[in-house]
Amino acid sequence: MNRIYLIGFMGCGKSAIGRRLSFLLKMPYYDMDKEIVRQLGMTIPEIFERFGEDYFRDLETKFLQNLQQEQCIISTGGGVTMRKVNQRIMRQTGLVLFLDAPFKEIWRRIHKDPNRPIVRRSTREEIEALHKARYRDYKRTAHITIRTEHRSLRQITQYAAFQVKRLKNE
């Protein structure tokens, strides 16, 4: 197992857990969205506005295909699992951990975030429907689902690290 992918809906804690897991396991960390922003020199809302969502999804796939680092932790974009090719790449090249947070908690975290283009142009009901639609892909892609409700970032990180170490020893 070389890579550890963190998947889940926007606002579920992928970046926060990824940074902490990187420190705990002493592995390099990549935030897919931040890497794409850095490479293009544009914010995600700017990329969506100028090129559209399909272009952004293409960038996510290229990131997965072209990443050279073998041993690392990657927090993915919330929509990365919508493409079967991305599901396949992640499952074949690493351990996929789904951070499963309840929608009410996710909404509380994201509803005022100006850097989330989908949230800016959608109602709560539309975002909840998107969450439900993507949920199947998260479950299908994940090797392990980690429920985050009523758990601190520290507890979630320690549980993720435990699972990684357990599987490395098998």
- What CATH number has the domain bearing residue 85? 3.40.50.300
| pLDDT value at 169 more than 80 | no
72 annotated to bind ligand: no
| pLDDT value at 70 more than 90 | no
14 annotated to bind ligand: yes
Question: Do the domain assignments include residue 65?
Answer: yes
| pLDDT value at 64 more than 80 | yes
- Residues 162, 10, 77, 19, Cα dihedral to 10°: -40
The predicted pLDDT at position 167 comes to: 85
Question: Do the domain assignments include residue 170?
Answer: no
Question: Do the domain assignments include residue 87?
Answer: yes
Higher pLDDT among residues 160 and 70, named by residue: 160
pLDDT in tens, 21-37: 999 999 999 999 999 99
**Full residue range of the structural domain in which residue 4 is found:** 1-164
134 annotated to bind ligand: yes
57 annotated to bind ligand: yes
Hey, which residues does 30 pair with through a beta bridge? 74
| pLDDT value at 1 more than 60 | no
16 annotated to bind ligand: yes
Rounded Cα gap, residues 155 and 41, in angstroms? 35
- Tell me the pLDDT band of 98, cut-offs 50, 70 and 90: very high
| pLDDT value at 170 more than 70 | no
The predicted pLDDT at position 93 comes to: 94
13 annotated to bind ligand: yes
| Gyration radius (Cα) of the chain, Å | 15
Provide the domain count of the chain. 1
Residues 73-93, mean pLDDT to the nearest whole number: 95
Rounded Cα gap, residues 131 and 82, in angstroms? 12
Question: Do the domain assignments include residue 40?
Answer: yes
11 annotated to bind ligand: yes
| pLDDT value at 108 more than 80 | yes
